Chain A
Amino acid sequence: MDPFVTLTAPAVPLDIANIDTDQLLPARFLKKPRSAGYGNFLFHDERKPGFPLDEPAYSGARVLVSDRNFGCGSSREGAVYALVDGGFRCVVAPSFGDIFAANAAKNGLLTVTLPEDAVAALRRQLQEAPGATVTVDLPAQTLTGPDGRPLPFAIDPFKKECLIEGLDDVALTLRHQDAIDLFDQRDAERRPWVVPGVVPGVA
């Protein structure tokens, strides 16, 4: 995945709470191979006149600023592919669906959680000055909006490291191969019922 360090880019505000992954990527597109490019499916059924992503003033936005519970619902990683293929590198919201946030980090999409009033203020600034940019500095853990005030944000250190270095965590896990083997060996003695006695055929 592409590493994420710093980003200065236009941001688009979306005053909608509970944006679920069905809205981000309607289920009928889940069959598509990744090679198809998911950008055209992003918010496919929400693209009605007045939808902020289609306003020329917000074209080229790479940061999305939304409301609480962004990415709730289905675990479909395609919702993240749609954002990434649609040009987004960062989503800012007061809260995120846990699975969405985990999927985002695996694909170089940074999720920034800030207090509800701070996010609402940021959306207002972007509505008042369409096309304004925000700057995200991941090593410093700050997001600076159009008003020039840096807002500190918290992030899991592991997620931060993976994003900055663009790490493949399977490679990282395989460094623990001995511990995994030892766990399996001990667990087979401790809980021998865990591996089902696989009987081919039917119930």
Chain B
Amino acid sequence: MTQQPRSLFEKVWDAHVVATRPDGQALLAIDRHFLHEGSFHAFGMIDHAGRKVRRPELTFAVADHYVPSHSRAKPIADPEIANMVTMLEANAGRHGLRHFGLHDPAQGIVHVLAPEQGLTLPGLTIVCGDSHTSTHGAFGALAFGIGATEVSHVLATQTLWQRRPKTMRVTVDGVLGPHVTAKDLILAVIAAIGADGAAGHVVEYAGSAIRGLSMEGRLTVCNMSIEAGARAGMIAPDDTTFSWIEGRHFAPEGALFDRAVEHWRTLPSDDGAVFDREVTLDAATIAPAVTWGTSPETAVPVTAAVPDPGAEADPVRAGQMRKMLDYMGLAPGMALEDVSIDRVFIGSCTNARLEDLRAAAAVLRGRRAVVPGLVVPGSVPVRRQAEAEGLDRVFIDAGLEWGEPGCSMCVGINGDLVPAGERCASTTNRNFPGRQGPNARTHLMSPAMAAAAAATGRLTDVRKLGAS
């Protein structure tokens, strides 16, 4: 019997359909459900309805959004923030869920922690009440963010109603240039297709440049799929994936691991698999990127100038560009490399893994930051390993702060805010108005680029600065 060639996404989707309605809606089985402090609405919903968590053994709670980046020796001062952290612990305890709390030696940002602990595996369906759940697609899982009502539905049933999304393949072939990273690659993709370019689609990233990325790099790419509007991003699992997983705490072991790998090797898209849309990029054309506006789609090479709304034919679009430039405090035509910054933030589920910290430290080693900055590792294990390699000393000697793991200044709800009017070179994923604090101005970039900006006090082409 010959089967129709199927894509990675189609194989994972098909394997999880529990039931289908005549209107095409599918009831999808969920293999992993991650929760964070924001899940209190969903717990409230199931409690109100008198429902239980159907599969506690597949449900994991992680404190990351509200945890302090500074010393954890003392209780959290702000009672509302402290309540968010303790409420998660209480809800997880009451429902018998594994809880990675503030003082857990594995604690970290859920999208850093889960892969690190071997919870993220190829072929799984993974959901979390967080849009950056797309991160886990780096392992060939189907992973996406959901809202509170859907979280309560998954808690109660371990399933979710979904309409089969469309598919898009983004192929990036070639070799990335020196100092050009996964972050620059995904910013180039978003700029090419737009912030809603992949809406309604699951994106598979393919091509030699993607294959050549480490797991950390692949996680960065899939993480920002949502910034192109994608439902999810996926990368076919391969030996890079399997060797990352082997030996991790929650990963299958021994014969079971071998059996899993045998299955995982069947997941990559078949030759001849058809996608609703195909996009291709040449890796050699991708430069270190920064954003100039208040959407990730405004990413451009750092060597570019601020665009001119006067050159935009559509008056509504021109007005929107002016509004962004006004918010960002930039004038058309100025070179981005002349833009001064007030602080840097290195961290977030996009760029707080060991590879990211190594890249930033390589630029800052032997240099001083001329602006204040905060470096927040993605998890306790990342923090420990970075310290073992002396990376913390590099940052501290450069004058930056070395924080405790969490979401921190990416979303600012633990109290780490960019002051109003200040300009931040940030390794995060969103430059939305007010994202890092009311009237804060965010320029997105890679860890090496943020480190270069720290050293010069302005947006800087790291290729010109070079790593010491």
Contact = CB atoms under 8 A, between A and B. Distances in A.
B67 to A, nearest CB: 14
A15 interface: yes
Nearest to A199: B249
B92 to A, nearest CB: 13
A203 B413 contact: no
Given A158-B163, A176-B19, A194-B124, A106 B149 contact: yes
A170 B199 contact: no
A73 B29 contact: no
Contacts of A158: 21, 23-25, 161, 163
Contacts of B257: 193
A96 to B, nearest CB: 7
Interface stretch (A130-138, A146-154, A184-192): A184-192
B305 interface: no
A118 interface: no
What class of interface size applies to chain A in its complex with B? Answer: 35 or more
A18 B197 CA distance: 12
Contacts of A96: 199
B229 A69 contact: yes
Interface string B134-153: 00000000001111111011
Interface in A1-31: 15-18, 20, 22-23, 26-28, 30-31
A95 B199 contact: yes
B347 interface: no
A103 B152 CA distance: 12
Instruction: Using C-beta atoms within 8 Å of the partner chain, give the interface range for chain B.
Output: 35 or more
A129 interface: no
A15 B21 CA distance: 38
A99 B41 CA distance: 16
Contact of A173 (B80, B159, B196, B252): B159
B236 to A, nearest CB: 18
Nearest to B415: A28
B5 interface: no
A140 interface: no
B163 A169 contact: no
B142 to A, nearest CB: 13
B413 A27 contact: yes
Nearest to B78: A31
A95 B196 CA distance: 7
Query: Which of B129, B256, B434 has most A Cβ within 10 Å?
Result: B434
Interface string A50-71: 0000000000000000011100
A122 to B, nearest CB: 13
B131 A156 contact: no
Interface stretch (B203-211, B284-292, B315-323, B349-357): B315-323
Contacts of B411: 27, 74
B174 interface: no
A95 to B, nearest CB: 5
Interface stretch (B98-106, B177-185, B272-280, B452-460): B98-106
Contact of B158 (A30, A156, A180): A180
A183 B18 contact: yes
Contacts of B252: 193, 197
B316 A67 contact: yes
A193 B259 contact: yes
Nearest to B84: A31
A198 B98 contact: yes
A45 B327 CA distance: 12
A40 B265 CA distance: 52
B27 to A, nearest CB: 6
Contact of B152 (A23, A31, A67, A170): A170
Nearest to A46: B433
A191 B253 CA distance: 14
A49 interface: no
B57 A198 contact: yes
A80 interface: yes
Given A98-B200, A180-B18, A198-B98, 16 more contacts: A15-B320, A16-B323, A26-B438, A72-B195, A73-B131, A76-B38, A95-B229, A98-B199, A99-B144, A103-B149, A170-B49, A179-B27, A180-B29, A193-B257, A193-B259, A203-B249
27 contacts: A17-B295, A18-B294, A20-B430, A22-B430, A23-B432, A23-B433, A26-B438, A31-B413, A45-B434, A67-B316, A69-B229, A73-B131, A75-B147, A97-B196, A99-B146, A102-B146, A158-B163, A169-B153, A170-B157, A176-B18, A176-B27, A179-B19, A180-B29, A183-B29, A192-B256, A192-B259, A198-B98
Interface of B: 18-19, 21, 23-25, 27, 29, 31, 38, 41, 44, 49, 51, 57-58, 66, 80-81, 83-84, 98, 104-106, 116-119, 121, 123-124, 129-131, 144-150, 152-153, 156-159, 161, 163, 165, 194-196, 199-200, 226, 229, 231, 248-253, 256-257, 259-260, 263, 294-295, 297, 316-317, 319-320, 323, 381, 411-413, 430, 432-435, 438-439
- Please name the 4 residue pairs, one residue from A and one from B, whose CB atoms are nearest each other, closest first: A103-B147, A77-B147, A193-B252, A69-B196
